[in-house]
């Protein structure tokens, strides 16, 4: 079965949309090679993070590991949406990167384990259990856990979290109107944008979420991060984000002024 060639996409609206989105993924990578190179390095760092925790034998950290993997997977989904230029829809997935990271840390730093893990695992058992889980894992609570350990990263991650809500994580006006254009008949919604700035900002948000998540997970496994060099790699990626996107912003400003 693996050797069979796939047929071309069908002649219908859904197939055409998927084909266009897949085409955009490749074009975005080619048109933004500096950003795509960063995405490749971030993916490698996330993969290293996942690998260094695979042999963890503390049963209380099992949910944390699962949530770390889901944060990684959500990031991949956000990158695909961003590269495909379906930018507004990428932001809810970027938000999931952050939320999974915060939940993972909140469970890992339980002062009386496995209490938080059990609350999370039993969420679906009853309405009372669901309410208990919602009460324990509020954004305020999971943020507080992070802030107590690393206030600087928590502040930056919360700023990004709020941005994801503004730009698409909730149906707010900024996310809706950022992908709306004027047409001959009035206004129309854009599903796949052709704005390089909008695409770059979306991918920058995804990268920042991943780097924030990596720093969150370092609080759970600091020794392994240090041994494998993931500390240094994350710091280098932070510097590279500032350099790559700073250069793009300067070039855009110069072109606009000219």
Using one digit for the tens of pLDDT, what is the confidence trace for 207-217?
A: 999 999 999 99
Domain ranges of the chain: 29-253
pLDDT digits (tens, 9 = 90+) for 108-152: 999 999 999 999 999 999 999 999 999 999 999 999 999 999 999
Structure token pair of residue 231: 């500390």
- Contact status, residue 137 vs residue 97, Cβ threshold 8 Å: no
- Give whole-number Cα distances, 70 to 30, 98, 243, in Å: 28, 10, 29
Q: Is 21 helix (H, G, I), strand (E, B) or coil?
A: helix
Q: Name the residue among 73, 70, 89, 69 with its Cα closest to residue 81.
A: 89
- Give whole-number Cα distances, 86 to 76, 96, 124, 193, 211, in Å: 14, 17, 32, 7, 22
- Whether 32 has a pLDDT exceeding 80, the answer reads yes
Tell me the mean pLDDT in the region 213-235: 96
Tell me the mean pLDDT in the region 29-46: 97
Name residues whose C-beta falls within 8 Å of residue 94's C-beta, 6 or more positions apart in sequence: 74, 75, 78, 160, 164, 169, 202, 205, 206, 209
Rounded to whole angstroms, how far apart are CA atoms 40 and 34? 10
How many C-beta neighbours within 10 Å does residue 55 have?
Answer: 7
Tell me the mean pLDDT in the region 21-48: 97
Peptide bond connecting 114 to the previous residue in cis, omega within 30 degrees of 0: yes
Tell me the mean pLDDT in the region 185-190: 76
- Whether 171 has a pLDDT exceeding 90, the answer reads no
- Whether 1 has a pLDDT exceeding 90, the answer reads no
Per-residue pLDDT band at 80 (split at 50, 70, 90): very high
- Contact status, residue 84 vs residue 24, Cβ threshold 8 Å: yes
* Residue of 168 and 82 predicted with greater confidence: 82
């Amino acid at each position: 079965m693996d050797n069979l060639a796939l047929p071309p996409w069908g002649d219908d609206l859904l197939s055409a949309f998927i084909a266009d989105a897949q085409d955009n993924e490749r074009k975005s990578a080619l048109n933004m090679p500096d950003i795509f190179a960063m995405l490749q390095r971030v993916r490698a760092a996330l993969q290293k993070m996942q690998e260094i925790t695979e042999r963890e034998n503390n049963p209380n950290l099992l949910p944390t590991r699962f949530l770390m993997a889901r944060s990684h997977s959500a990031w991949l989904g956000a990158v695909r949406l961003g590269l495909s230029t379906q930018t507004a829809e990428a932001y809810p997935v970027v938000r999931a990167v952050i939320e999974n990271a915060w939940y993972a840390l909140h469970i890992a730093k339980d002062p009386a384990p496995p209490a938080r893990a059990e609350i999370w695992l039993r969420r679906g058992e009853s309405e009372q259990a669901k309410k208990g889980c919602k009460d324990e894992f509020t954004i305020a609570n999971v943020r507080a856990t992070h802030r107590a350990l690393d206030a600087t990263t928590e502040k930056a991650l919360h700023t990004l979290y709020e941005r994801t809500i503004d730009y698409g994580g909730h149906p707010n006006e900024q996310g809706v109107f950022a992908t709306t254009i004027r047409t001959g008949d009035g206004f129309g919604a854009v599903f796949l944008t052709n704005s390089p700035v909008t695409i770059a900002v979306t991918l920058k948000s995804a990268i920042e979420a991943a780097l924030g998540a990596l720093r969150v997970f370092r609080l759970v496994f600091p020794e392994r991060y240090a041994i494998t060099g993931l500390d240094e790699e994350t710091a280098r990626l932070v510097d590279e984000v500032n350099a790559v996107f700073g250069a793009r912003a300067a070039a855009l400003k110069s072109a606009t002024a000219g």
